[in-house]
A and B are shown apart, each in its own frame.
Chain A
Amino acid sequence: MKIRGLIARSRRHYRRHHLAFAACLALVSAVMTGALLVGDAVRESLAARVEDRMGRIGSVLMTEDRVFEGDLASRLQAVGVAAPILAVEGVVVDPASRLEAPGALILGVDERFWQLSPGGTAPVGFETSGAFANATAMAMLGNPILPSEVVVRMTKPGQLQRDIAAAQTSAFRASDRVSLQGELTRATFGQFGLTTDPATQPVLILPLSRLQEILGLSHQANLLLTDRTATAQWQKALRTEWSLADAGLKLQSLDDGRTELTTGAVFLSPKILAAAESLPFPKQNIYGYFVNEIQGSDDSAPYCVVAGLSEPLPSPLPDQLSPDGVVINRWLADRIEVAPGDSMVWTYYRLGERRALTEETVTLQVQAVVPMEGAAADRTLMPDFPGLADTESCYDWDPGLPVDLDLIQPADEAYWQEHQGTPKAFLTYATAQRLFDNPFGSGTAVRFEAEPGEVAKALRKHLSASEVGLAFRDVRTPAEIATREGLDFGQLFASMSFFLVTAAACLAGLVVSLVLEARMREVGMMRAMGFEFQTIRQIWLREFGGVALAGTVVGVPLGVGFNLAILAGLNRIWQGATGGLRVEFGWSLVSLLTAPLLTLAVALLVVWLRFQARGRTSIISLLTGTSPETRARFVGWLWPAIATIAAVGLLLASAFADRQLQASLFFGAGAALLASWLLLMRTIWRRPPRSGAHRAGTLWLGWRQARRRPGRSLAVVTLLALATFLVVSVGVNRKSPPTDSNDRYSGTGGFGWLAPLSVPLTFNPNDPAALEEFGMLEEEIEALHLTGLRERSGDDASCLNLARAQEPRVLGVPLEAMKNRFRFLDAQAWDGWEALAADLPGNHIPAAVDASTLQWGLGKSLGDTITITAADGLPVTLEIVAVLEDSIFQGSVLISEENFSEAFPDQGGYRWLLGTWMPEGATTTRKLVGQLFRDYGPAIVSTQARLAQFLEVQNTYLAIFEWLGGLGLLLGAVGLGLVTLRNLLERREEFWLLQALGFPQSQQRSLAFVEHAILAGIGILGGGVAGYLPLIAGQLSDLPTGSPGLLGLLLLLVAAAASLAIALAVKMSFQSGGRFDPNGS
């Protein structure tokens, strides 16, 4: 005979035990495999979503509100596929049903876009038909019957900045009807998106030419999508291929042979001016402006174009002017009756950010009066002010600036008819800069004494593409990184399955102990025969190892089944945990191997440890089947008393704590109560038996049996109690949104609703005057308390997004409006909002983040930095200086509006509105806001609903934990059955004695049952009561909790399972017609 023969025989003989052992390990392996596979599934589903959204897109060049020449894509075609796109945001409306799809992305594309789609081809009939919408948009529009005509109201990009008051707000909006022909599929960018945000934006795609026609932007685009050629290669090609026209710059030849540089944005940026300044050609800087009124001694002239020129001034203007000196033309001199030496008062608007206009006045002196000839008759000195240039009559003016056409006199109209925008006054360029400078630029033209080609070449040498806002950005890699670095669902589910795994592992350990106890004599005899301890241990490890391997391997396919069940749960009832992501099965070799290997290792360790603990006892005790006696020492009543006092103390403290702390205090009180219960049991069981304390009855006998092995009894009770407590009490950590949205210090900040806008507001909603001008009544302004936020779009860093946000959304908030709102958990100033106004070293911008976003979305802490890439490709560093308590701003990073304008000047307008409910109620408020801001497509959401959406994620995790914990508890009850079996087998001589004494079988069984039922009852009762304490306390304090009724049902189920397990164990222990066989195995 060989050892392997002994092992094979032992496995066969003890096959029931080994089957139980293998089953427990299969369960452990299955649960762990299933949990780890969830991580693979989520990762792969997120990756698949990136594929669906981005197709073959690798990089983007995005100018958002500005446009570049559409043929830039063709100039770059040597690198790969580049698709020019017009991308705007808006709202799509079905006029028939009046249903809307707000926040829609409207794309104008050509065939190159479809080459980048997942399927590589356009939808059938795209070029000839009309527009196609994705499923999200179709659903929002009520799935209209196709073809269907829809109205699209959208933003309009251009060269002008949205914030500039010089243009009408209507210049940035457009609308038209388009024919909706079909629905986009997955292959045709039906899931299109450039972020990893959980929600798919509604998308409408139409031919580029059509959208260009609607927006009046021929041959222009504001988005370039490229294939997956490296971003660096695209950037390299861009450096040589970009043109001045792409940057909105225009060079034109003048009649005098000079070349004039102007911009479609009216004002030349400091970078452009600096580059122009460095060119080696003689040049003249020009600052054309529009003055509201020039007041002479008796008369005034309204709405005059003036020009600042750099010296030397051209003829007939004098060579030099004093800083306050002005040269006026003869017409103006006659109009307002002034002569050289007289003073004039100029009234004009200084342009500010967010369409701010500040009326200013300045007194200047007439230095000279010149005839209208030469440079004084140059009508091209007037910049292309939108709404002013190219009009035939003053009465056709329609600028963004407020003008009172009633002030126009016939003389003024006659001047315009004859001379158009020829400046009526001239001043030095420096003086013009001093008077008119604004955030949008300085100067309106530069004239060079050179050919346009020479100027263009030289300018491009001194300007980089990124300096003019043209830069490629890799969108693919960050998205892929985000999906990889997102919340590890594998680990999350593994930790939530902790109880289940532990219960199964404990079961496995119990089975091993049971087998060991049953075979102790075998071990003793082998040692007596001369087997070394290590040899016997090796034999056992081999025997159990083979079984463990089989069990863990079987667990893998079972784990796949468990995983599918979890995925079904995630896709149906636990959608709150995944932000709506449809999770499909995914796997990795690591996940499939980790669980069985880990389980195998743990199983072998358990066998080794149990064998080590028991097999090393004296050969005699092994042969006689006795366990080493351990005398339990009485420990006194002190510790139970302390734990009880702690529980009461924590409960009392909770009465004075805020809601955030209350849940923790309730939980702590429950834990202390549980501890006092367990310590009490420990004390009672270790108390020396009192003489004369004899009782009769099964119950008393059963109670006394618990004292026999106090350590073991306490272990059983503790395990059940702890598991019960945790599963029941975890519900107290559920959260719900505040009941009163008017509470300024709650997560709503006192706002009742918020509305992301499809089309940004071009005026400042934080300014009541602007709102009045917009058309709101005073009482409406008063009732709604509107606050507007700026937005730089980015990744959603809320808990709804399973992917790690790489560049989170940034909101620019008006600090004044935010004062005394929300609550900060931590800040680097006495007030969190104050901290956002701080000056930080290194050009860092102070930022505030919601606590959940900070921890889970960004994985950062207070003091850390976040880098955002600006439109020019340069990094903007935000430093976290304040942490908000759970708020409606989850998913975004907040900076002050001032810093936002400076860091992201290309992000004009207000994209968010917050407000309060009107006294008339939510319905009236929604109706009014919807009507007022109809052209901007508000999607009104109550702040409580928004908070609830975020809190739903955490609550879903807690619910999953309760489910899995409940399963673990049930398994623990089964384990109790095994412990019962073990106990009874150990004491079979005892029961034989009872049998010999005449105890009927039924009484013996009752005794065995009651003894163990008492332990189960103590454990479940103790854990249940301690767990209910935080639950009930939470309910009394209006904290959201789990359902006591459901949890009570769970406890009943556990108690029933425990009873059944004990009854079965008792039955198995009594053999041979109910009699104990003292020689039985």
Chain B
Amino acid sequence: MIELDEVCKTYPSGENDRLEVLRNCSWSLKAGATASVVGPSGSGKSTLLHLLGGLDQPDAGTIKVGEVDPTQLKEKDAAAFRRDTVGFIFQAHHLLPQLTALENVLLPTLAGMGKRDLAQDEARAHELLKRVGLAERASHEPGRLSGGERQRVAVARALMLEPKVLLADEPTGALDGRTARALADLLFEISAGNATTLVVVTHDLTLAGSAQRIFRLQDGQLVAS
């Protein structure tokens, strides 16, 4: 499902230097599998995720998610790719403060231009909130939710359009231990239930251990751990 082939990525560092975060990185992950990526700070974990989600461009190499190379897409197609194929979960929940929990979950449905069945969407959103344990908080705005609850809404939102790939960047980074574990369990459970390919970038080794495969990003290379 996911393939990286000799991918390189560097960032400017100082006046004339460049920092190489991915160096001829090749990697693959089967559809429906779960993987966690660990590594020291600044090793390029988030960069890898961004490349997989089409949020960034490699300096060299190719990436394939399904049959699509997200780095070669024009903006309109890239948006469609992110909409239909990928679901993002970030460390910061990035919920829209002006929308309720239910509305935040429904937000991805507004991204496309096509007509949608509003009732069906709403039913699914309720279902997702129920799955993440927030059925009774559907009408609450993010300001009235705890950090963990907000992150769970973000998970529900990421799943709204049934993505094939779920990319989670430090999803529990801002949460306390118990909440983080609960969220991690939820994440893997849902992923397994939907046969969604899950890639989690994390410092949390417990979370990392929940994945089927663990990779370490080291010297610009992904190495199975």
A interface vs B, CB < 8 Å?
A: 1-3, 5-6, 9-10, 12-14, 521-522, 524-533, 535, 618-620, 623, 1081
Contact = CB atoms under 8 A, between A and B. Distances in A.
A530 B79 contact: yes
Contacts of B53: 528
Contacts of B178: none
A973 to B, nearest CB: 31
Interface in B71-90: 75-76, 79-84, 86, 88, 90
Nearest to A5: B103
B98 A9 contact: yes
B97 interface: yes
B64 to A, nearest CB: 19
Given A1-B122, A530-B79, A623-B94, 16 more contacts: A1-B103, A1-B109, A6-B107, A6-B110, A9-B99, A13-B97, A13-B98, A14-B98, A525-B96, A527-B79, A527-B82, A530-B82, A531-B111, A532-B111, A533-B75, A619-B55
Interface in B41-93: 50, 53, 55-56, 75-76, 79-84, 86, 88, 90, 92
5 contacts: A1-B122, A6-B103, A529-B111, A532-B79, A535-B111
Contact of B110 (A527, A531, A533): A531
Contacts of A5: 103
Interface string B108-134: 111111000010001000000000000
A521 B94 contact: yes
Nearest to A529: B108
Nearest to A629: B12
Given A13-B98, A618-B56, A619-B55, A530 B103 contact: no
A623 B90 contact: yes
B167 to A, nearest CB: 10
Given A620-B55, A1081-B97, A528 B110 contact: no
A532 B90 contact: no
B76 A532 contact: yes
B106 interface: yes
Nearest to B15: A631
A524 to B, nearest CB: 7
A524 B55 CA distance: 10
Nearest to A8: B98
Most buried by A among B79, B90, B161: B79
A1054 to B, nearest CB: 37
Contacts of B122: 1
B84 A521 contact: no
Contacts of A623: 90, 92, 94
Contacts of A14: 98
B55 A522 contact: no
B94 A530 contact: no
A532 B76 CA distance: 6
A524 B108 CA distance: 13
B159 to A, nearest CB: 12
Contact of A1 (B55, B81, B110, B157): B110
A531 B82 CA distance: 8
A3 B110 contact: yes
Most buried by B among A2, A521, A530, A532: A530
B100 to A, nearest CB: 9
Interface in B3-54: 50, 53
Given A530-B80, A530-B83, A531-B111, A522 B106 contact: no
Contacts of B106: 1
A526 B111 contact: yes
A609 B88 CA distance: 28
Given A531-B110, A532-B76, A522 B94 contact: yes
B96 to A, nearest CB: 6
Given A620-B55, A623-B94, A530 B109 contact: no
A12 B97 CA distance: 11
Nearest to A525: B94
A13 B95 CA distance: 13
A3 B109 CA distance: 10
Contacts of A9: 98-99, 103
Contact of A528 (B55, B80, B161): B55
Ranked 10 nearest A-B pairs via Cβ: A530-B83, A13-B98, A525-B94, A530-B82, A9-B98, A531-B111, A530-B111, A532-B79, A1-B106, A619-B55
Contact of A529 (B50, B98, B103, B107): B107
A530 B55 contact: no
A765 to B, nearest CB: 85
A528 B109 CA distance: 13
A5 to B, nearest CB: 8
Contacts of A532: 75-76, 79, 111
A6 B109 CA distance: 12
Nearest to B157: A529
Contacts of B118: 1-2
Nearest to A625: B92
B83 A529 contact: yes
Contacts of A530: 79-84, 86, 108, 111-112, 161
Contacts of A529: 82-83, 88, 107-108, 111, 157
A528 B88 contact: yes
Nearest to A519: B96
Contacts of A526: 107, 111
Nearest to B76: A532
B49 to A, nearest CB: 10
Contacts of A527: 79, 82
Nearest to B154: A525
Contacts of B111: 526, 529-532, 535
B197 to A, nearest CB: 17
B135 to A, nearest CB: 18
Contacts of A620: 50, 55-56
Contacts of B157: 529
A15 to B, nearest CB: 10
A521 B92 contact: yes
B20 to A, nearest CB: 18
Contacts of B80: 530
Most buried by A among B84, B97, B122: B97
B158 to A, nearest CB: 8
Contacts of A1: 99, 103, 106-107, 109-110, 118, 122
A9 B83 CA distance: 23
A772 B27 CA distance: 119
A103 B85 CA distance: 92
B116 to A, nearest CB: 10
Contacts of B76: 532
A909 to B, nearest CB: 83
Contact of B99 (A6, A521, A618): A6
A14 B79 CA distance: 27
A886 B74 CA distance: 66
A757 to B, nearest CB: 79
Contacts of B90: 525, 623
Contacts of B92: 521, 623
A528 B82 contact: yes
Interface in B140-199: 157, 161
Contacts of A535: 111, 113
A1006 B126 CA distance: 49
Contacts of A1081: 97
B131 to A, nearest CB: 19
Contacts of B97: 13, 1081
A535 B106 CA distance: 16
Contacts of B108: 529-530
A10 B98 contact: yes
Contact of B94 (A2, A10, A524): A524
Contacts of A13: 97-98
B41 to A, nearest CB: 15
A13 B141 CA distance: 11
A6 B113 CA distance: 15
A12 B98 CA distance: 8
Contacts of B161: 530
B29 to A, nearest CB: 20
